[in-house]
Amino acid sequence: MIKKILIKIIEFYQKTLSPDHGWFSSRYPGGYCKYHPDCSEYCKQAIEKKGAAKGIALGAWRVLRCNPWSAGGIDEVK
Amino acid sequence: MSAFFTTILFIPIYNMLMYLVAVVPGHQVALAIIALTIIIRIILLPSSLKASKSTIEMQKIQPLLNAVKVKFKGDQMKQSQEMQRLFKEHKVSPYGSCLPLIVQMIVLIVFYRVILIGFNSGHFNLLYSFIPKPAEINLRFLGINVSKPDLWLLPILAGALQFVQTKMMPQPPQSKGANDPMAMMNKQMIYFFPLITIFIARALPSGLAIYWVITSAVMILQQWYINNQFKLGFWGKFPAVPISELPEYTIDTASTSAGTELHPEHEKIIEADEKKIRAKGVEITVRKRK
């Protein structure tokens, strides 16, 4: 239940404000986020695969890594 | 959880704001908010400048990226590997990072809470010992009370500046066509988004509208600087590139995976592939055929 709500929230964000999927995505032809999958997609997948609590923790850790001092690159949910 | 956020976010920002209230002329809360907003923008400046630069560099190779997207439609993994290769080849990297976006969002929420509860001496117990207590707290600024919503001037100014700021962000040259639904969406949002801002700003304490106005103003200056660096003019317009000058893209034949979904353009690209086989791989032309 919580899992479904969280995923809906992320999907809503992706359809609206997300620079990678949303209204402004055409501005970023190479994607905004330096990681693949981008942070919101990563959070979504993490919550789907690992459940709400662990998924949120993994997602939060990914967003923290997605800072100006990190290199980015391909980083899937394991 | 809430106590954790209060300690690491709410109290530091409250202290910073109160310190500024204590030192600015007239103990004007509005001036303190302006100063704090500028400080926050300065902290975020290096990362936001780099992100804008990389966005423009990325937009320059947009035709190549589009080709990759078409060629590997339906194969996300392959797409992103191929893009990473392109980034390396053209020495660009997506510099956008998600943390600063979230930080800005959180700062806005914390600001909201600070402005809602912060302006009476009852909360001085939250001040760190080394922060001077403001002798006076002046909520009025140009006839506006910062803790109450302002209905017209500030919301409209916030919306207008945000419109200018979004309008100044360059559009990649190839997405201007009406056939790209995302580009259309983006175009509509340039007009719609500032309206949302106006309505939200009308409902919130005007101190937040001040934060919004200053943030947009600083971002306009930043974008102006970046646009000038890339010689795109104030409004960030990419010069129209003649079709013959669009870049070409090399790709390994081996990398076309089976099961890749066919796209209307796919055929043409494969066709172009076959015609231009080179020693190392295949070159596809990303030009639109007349």
**β-strands B282-285, B248-251: how paired?**
antiparallel
Cα–Cα dist B33/B274, whole Å? 61
Residues above pLDDT 90, as percent of chain A: 49
Res. B181: pLDDT tops 90: no
Cα–Cα distances (Å) from B193 to A28, A70, B161, in that order, read: 18, 31, 11
Q: Which residues of A touch B92 (CB under 8 A)?
A: 30
Helix (H), strand (E) at residue B218: helix B206-229
Kindly report, residue by residue over B239-266, the tens digit of the pLDDT.
665 544 555 554 443 344 443 333 444 4
The DSSP secondary-structure symbol of B277 reads B
Kindly report, residue by residue over B8-19, the tens digit of the pLDDT.
888 888 888 889
Would you call A66 and B95 a contact, using CB atoms and an 8 Å cutoff? no
The backbone torsions φ and ψ at residue B135, rounded to the nearest 5 degrees and listed phi first, read -70, -25
Overall average pLDDT of the B210-236 stretch: 91
Residues above pLDDT 70, as percent of chain B: 78
Res. B234: pLDDT tops 50: yes
Residues above pLDDT 90, as percent of chain B: 18
Would you state the pLDDT for residue A65?
92
Assign A35 a pLDDT band (cuts: 50, 70, 90).
Answer: confident
Res. B67: pLDDT tops 90: no
Assign A64 a pLDDT band (cuts: 50, 70, 90).
Answer: very high
Look over chain A and give the mean of its residue pLDDT values, rounded to a whole number. Answer: 89
How many contacts does A have with B, using Cβ atoms within 8 A? 96
Q: Which residues of A touch B81 (CB under 8 A)?
A: 74
* A29: closest chain B residue by CA: B62
Q: How far is B278 from chain A (nearest CA, A)?
A: 26
Res. B102: pLDDT tops 90: no
Would you call B96 and A24 a contact, using CB atoms and an 8 Å cutoff? no
- The interface predicted TM-score of the complex, written ipTM, equals 0.88
Look over chain B and give the mean of its residue pLDDT values, rounded to a whole number. Answer: 76
Would you call A72 and B65 a contact, using CB atoms and an 8 Å cutoff? no
Would you call A23 and B65 a contact, using CB atoms and an 8 Å cutoff? no
Stretch among B43-57, B110-124, B165-179 having the lowest mean pLDDT: B165-179
Q: Which residues of A touch B47 (CB under 8 A)?
A: 67-68
Quote the tokens at residue A37.
């999958």
Res. B173: pLDDT tops 80: no
Res. A9: pLDDT tops 90: yes
User: Taking an 8 Å Cβ-Cβ cutoff, which residues of chain A contact chain B?
Assistant: 19, 23-34, 36-39, 63-64, 66-68, 70, 72-74
Q: How far is A51 from chain B (nearest CA, A)?
A: 20
Cβ(B163)–Cβ(B191) under 8 Å?
A: yes
Cβ contacts of B89 within 8 Å, gap of 6 or more = none
Overall average pLDDT of the B105-122 stretch: 79
